[in-house]
Amino acid sequence: MQFASHLNHCALLFAFDEASTLRLFAKYGYLAIALAAFWEGEGLLIVAGTLCGAGYLDWRWTIIAAAIGGAAGDQIYFYIAHERAARLISRSARLRRWLPRVRAFVQRHGTWAVLLSRFAAGLRITIPLVCATAGMNPLKYSTLNLISAFIWASAWVGLTYQMGAHLLR
């Protein structure tokens, strides 16, 4: 149902003034995609992928913008948590009790957690925080984060491209 809602928003956007809307997308569309992906950007990515399929946006630039925006957001969350984790843990007995379990989880499943978390809406923000708190190597996290972002963006654009090719042409 959420996808239909996004398509309706897209259709409303074009109903008002198609020419000016297309100029806006051509000029600012990729920036909007990057900014939306910085946070949880699935909604806009669904619309963007649909517009790619309809020929209004280039799928390659859409994937690049979404991947860079999504990776940048998670990278910032990781570094903020990395800096502040020690202070938070030292102040909280509860966190000190949980830390060994969190570290064990990240050591066992950290790679898969980073790669798959982007596909679990709502969990995406927690995984960088958990990985940083558990002491995951920043280079390892950054590499996995970027790979995950490109897989995520490619999957959403690839899926919704087909719908745009059939619905909006």
Task: Select the more confidently predicted residue: 169 or 96.
Answer: 96
Task: Give the per-residue pLDDT at 9.
Answer: 52
End-to-end alpha-carbon separation of the chain, Å?
A: 21
pTM given for the model: 0.78
Task: Give the per-residue pLDDT at 21.
Answer: 65
* CA separation, residue 107 to residues 30, 51, 62, 110 (Å): 36, 40, 33, 6
Task: Give the per-residue pLDDT at 104.
Answer: 87
